[in-house]
């Protein structure tokens, strides 16, 4: 730390992606402010509105007009939680940046704990969800086995229950900004970045209001991003499955030969059907795996902007309400 910083009050940016959270935003802001006001920091709550179509936008503008610490950036369309988070970390200028959800599932009471660890010298304070209240058994089980699979097939260790509720020192935030990949799995990126790290466990309460914005379809897409962005093992699986099916083909060939020698070739139609089904299936599977990678290569090669900002309502930006990208 340089001397100038040692005497000034440290500034904390709290980045919150929100998508249709009209019933949560005001309550969330109140709770965060109550916690942060008791701490010796200057802070901003930077909401990234991820293309909401309910009253979220109006509420954010009202809150911002009343309280200069509430800042918001509005994305041009719904781009997804990970991209909204990226927009937040790209624009947050605090000495430490904390990312958290706006539905009260990341308890604001934990903020002092994260900040204490930061003050003790940790550059990344990652929270780990030990359980989630009111979550379906399906989500709990799929999440548990997903993390096991992820850790088995990737080189980066991603903590089971790891969430996007974390504190990052400015240096770690600057490092994160250098990652431009589109299929983003921020947990994996941060996990692979290094820096001095620690974890804090918590129990996630139920949402304060509204519904989860993660449909089964979004969950599967997110899960695939996590695996395909960090592992080439699925391509290897295709290779081994290919070898296995080739061996099976040899066995089947021996069977066909045996039947031919016995003079019972008429029954061969079943072998043909079995073969075409089996190898057809294998080929489709391998094409599917290759396709997933090719789709991602295409996405990265296009190098489109990660997000488009419709309006930036941060006070210090001096570009209030102005169009920008
Ligand atoms: N969110 C977002 N864009 C989306 C989906 C969700 O910004 O496309 C926000 C959402 O408003 C919330 C956070 O990301 O603040 C986590 O979403 P959610 O609570 O729906 O996820 P869950 O807790 O069910 O995993
Ligand atoms: Mg939630």
Distance (Å, rounded) from C-alpha 290 to C-alpha 313?
A: 43
pLDDT above 90 as % of the chain: 45
Given a contact cutoff of 8 angstroms between Cβ atoms, the answer to whether 88 and 56 are in contact is no
| Cα–Cα–Cα angle for 260, 250, 256, rounded to 5 degrees | 15
Between 147 and 179, the more confident residue is: 179
- From 49, 169, 153, 194, select the one nearest 119 (Cα to Cα): 169
Is pLDDT above 90 for 66?
A: yes
Q: What is the pLDDT of residues 237-247, one digit of tens each?
A: 777 787 788 78
pTM over 0.75: yes
Distance (Å, rounded) from C-alpha 50 to C-alpha 218?
A: 15
Q: Say how many Å lie between the CA of residue 87 and the centre of ligand 1.
A: 15
Classify residue 135 by its DSSP letter. -
Task: Take atom 22 of ligand 1 and give the residue whose Cα is closest.
Answer: 212
Between 29 and 240, the more confident residue is: 29
Task: Take atom 9 of ligand 1 and give the residue whose Cα is closest.
Answer: 18
Q: Say how many Å lie between the CA of residue 150 and the centre of ligand 2.
A: 22
Given a contact cutoff of 8 angstroms between Cβ atoms, the answer to whether 275 and 255 are in contact is no
Confidence of residue 323 (pLDDT cuts 50, 70, 90): very low
Classify residue 38 by its DSSP letter. T
Mean pLDDT score, 40-51 = 96
Given a contact cutoff of 8 angstroms between Cβ atoms, the answer to whether 57 and 140 are in contact is no
Mean pLDDT taken over the chain: 86
Q: Say how many Å lie between the CA of residue 33 and the centre of ligand 1.
A: 21
Mean pLDDT score, 269-279 = 74
Is pLDDT above 90 for 134?
A: no
Confidence of residue 324 (pLDDT cuts 50, 70, 90): very low
Q: Determine the pLDDT at residue 321.
A: 41
Show the DSSP H helices in the chain as ranges. 3-7, 25-37, 56-66, 81-91, 111-119, 137-153, 170-176, 186-192, 216-230, 233-261, 268-302
Residue 51 has, within 13 A of its CA and on its CB side, a CA count of: 12
Report for 165-169, 182-186, 213-217: range of highest mean pLDDT: 165-169
Q: What is the pLDDT of residues 76-117, one digit of tens each?
A: 999 999 999 999 999 999 999 999 999 999 999 999 999 999
Is pLDDT above 80 for 198?
A: yes
Task: Take atom 23 of ligand 1 and give the residue whose Cα is closest.
Answer: 212
DSSP-based three-state secondary structure for 185 = coil
Q: Determine the pLDDT at residue 91.
A: 96
Pocket of ligand 1 (CB under 6 A): 17-19, 21, 50, 78, 80-81, 84, 101-103, 105, 212-214
> What token pair was written down for 156?
């980066």
Q: Could you identify the atom of ligand 1 that is nearest to the CA of residue 18? A: 11
How distant, in Å, are the alpha carbons of 90, 112, 120, 323 from that of 303? 17, 39, 39, 22
Range name among 56-70, 158-172, 239-253, 306-320 with the lowest pLDDT average: 306-320
Between 85 and 134, the more confident residue is: 85
Q: Say how many Å lie between the CA of residue 101 and the centre of ligand 1.
A: 7
- CB neighbours (10 Å) of residue 29? 24
Q: Determine the pLDDT at residue 319.
A: 43
Ramachandran category for residue 154: left, alpha or beta (phi over 0 → left; psi -120 to 50 → alpha): beta
Ligand number nearest to the C-alpha of 48: 1
Confidence of residue 69 (pLDDT cuts 50, 70, 90): very high
């Amino acid at each position: 730390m340089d001397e100038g910083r040692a005497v000034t009050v440290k500034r904390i940016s709290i980045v919150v992606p929100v998508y249709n959270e009209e019933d949560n935003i005001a309550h969330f802001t109140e709770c965060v402010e109550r916690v942060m006001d008791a701490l010796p920091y200057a802070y901003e709550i930077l909401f990234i509105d991820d293309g909401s179509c309910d009253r979220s936008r109006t509420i954010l503008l009202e809150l911002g007009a009343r309280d200069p610490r509430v800042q918001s950036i509005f994305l041009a369309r719904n781009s997804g939680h990970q991209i909204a988070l990226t927009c937040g970390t790209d624009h947050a200028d605090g000495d430490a940046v904390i990312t958290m959800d706006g539905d009260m599932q990341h308890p604001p009471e934990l903020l002092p704990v994260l900040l204490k660890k930061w003050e003790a010298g940790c550059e990344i304070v990652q929270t780990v969800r030990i359980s989630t209240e009111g979550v379906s058994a399906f989500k709990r089980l799929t999440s548990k086995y997903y993390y096991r699979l992820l850790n088995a097939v990737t080189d980066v260790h991603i903590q089971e229950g790891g969430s996007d509720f974390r504190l990052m020192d400015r240096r770690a935030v600057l490092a994160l900004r250098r990652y431009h990949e589109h299929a983003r799995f921020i947990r994996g990126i941060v996990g692979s970045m290094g820096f001095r790290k620690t974890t804090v466990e918590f129990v996630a309460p139920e949402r304060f209001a509204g519904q989860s914005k993660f449909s089964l379809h979004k969950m599967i897409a997110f899960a695939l991003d996590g695996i395909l962005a960090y592992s080439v093992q699925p391509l290897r699986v295709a290779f081994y499955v290919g070898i296995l099916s080739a061996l099976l083909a040899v066995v089947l060939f021996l069977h066909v030969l045996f039947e031919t020698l016995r003079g019972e070739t008429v029954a061969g139609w079943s072998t043909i059907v079995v073969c075409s089904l089996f190898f057809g299936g294998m080929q489709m599977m391998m094409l599917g795996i290759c396709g997933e990678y090719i789709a991602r290569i295409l996405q990265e090669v296009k190098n489109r902007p990660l997000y488009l900002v419709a309006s930036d309502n941060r006070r210090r930006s001096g570009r209030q309400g102005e169009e920008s990208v």
